[in-house]
A and B are shown apart, each in its own frame.
Chain A
Amino acid sequence: AQKVTQAQTEISVVEKEDVTLDCVYETRDTTYYLFWYKQPPSGELVFLIRRNSFDEQNEISGRYSWNFQKSTSSFNFTITASQVVDSAVYFCALSLGGATNKLIFGTGTLLAVQP
């Protein structure tokens, strides 16, 4: 069975601190896809990144970076120099693709960035 674990329920940081959100996944499939979504207080879900299992290169997009490590089944998300606007719930998700195209979500991490 597939599973995504986000062990950090809530994280609180002060603006300009760096913060890492952890994501550990479980699957026996060799082909899979990992996602991060952001849910700001307004409630919508915003896509941040998709990574397939064959691409272990880390990715950086502005203040955001992602560290994919198959050896530890982790896909961690780091925000550098956090800002108040980063306050949101962040979800990590796993998909095997195929017919269902289902996203298996973790339980989310609530990030609160204090000014």
Chain B
Amino acid sequence: EAQVTQNPRYLITVTGKKLTVTCSQNMNHEYMSWYRQDPGLGLRQIYYSMNVEATDKGDVPEGYKVSRKEKRNFPLILESPSPNQTSLYFCASSFLRRNEPYEQYFGPGTRLTVT
């Protein structure tokens, strides 16, 4: 089954404790991205990757890191989480052809609470 998986689905942590949210897709997509969803703000892009070893900042990258060492995986790293990073996080992936955006497939979401 074609899918994007994220782990963990729920996480409660404390300020400053490093964490990683994993994301994996099995569709051989070139493009992967992280979004955060906050009430009244919709979804905003954090980081994206066009392919292995090619990542770049989205609109709200502060406090986050990513890496893309394999095509299927795109982990999101919070080196020192703070309460304002409490949010619902989505990983997404898609094909990328001729700069034309294809349907992005989203993972199930990770609800993060930082106390």
Interface of A toward B, CB cutoff 8 Å = 4, 33, 35, 37, 43-45, 47, 50, 52, 91, 93, 95, 97-103, 105-108
> What secondary structure prevails in chain A residues at the interface with B?
loop
Residues from 3 to 34 in B contacting A, C-beta threshold 8 Å: 31, 33
* A98 contacts B108, C-beta separation under 8 Å: no
A101 and B94 in contact (CB under 8 A), knowing A44-B108, A47-B104? yes
A107 and B103 in contact (CB under 8 A), knowing A100-B48, A100-B58? no
**B77 lies within 8 A of chain A by Cβ:** no
In the assembled complex, how far is the CB of residue A24 from the closest CB belonging to chain B, in whole angstroms? 14
Residue on A nearest B30 in the bound complex, by CB: A101
* A50 contacts B103, C-beta separation under 8 Å: yes
In the assembled complex, how far is the CB of residue A58 from the closest CB belonging to chain B, in whole angstroms? 20
* B109 contacts A43, C-beta separation under 8 Å: yes
Query: Could you tell me the distance between the alpha carbons of A101 and B100 in the complex, rounded to whole angstroms?
Result: 8
27 A-B pairs in the complex with CB atoms less than 8 angstroms apart: A43-B108, A44-B107, A44-B109, A45-B92, A47-B103, A50-B102, A50-B103, A52-B100, A91-B43, A97-B99, A97-B100, A97-B101, A98-B99, A100-B48, A101-B31, A101-B96, A101-B101, A101-B104, A102-B33, A102-B45, A102-B48, A103-B45, A103-B92, A103-B101, A105-B43, A106-B42, A108-B42
A102 and B99 in contact (CB under 8 A), knowing A43-B88, A91-B43? no
**B50 lies within 8 A of chain A by Cβ:** yes
**B90 lies within 8 A of chain A by Cβ:** yes
Which of B42, B48, B107 touches A91 (beta carbons < 8 Å)? B42
**B2 lies within 8 A of chain A by Cβ:** no
* A45 contacts B106, C-beta separation under 8 Å: yes
* B40 contacts A107, C-beta separation under 8 Å: yes
Q: In the complex, which residues of chain B have a beta carbon less than 8 angstroms from the beta carbon of A35?
A: 103
Residue on B nearest A39 in the bound complex, by CB: B37
* B31 contacts A107, C-beta separation under 8 Å: no
In the assembled complex, how far is the CB of residue A42 from the closest CB belonging to chain B, in whole angstroms? 8
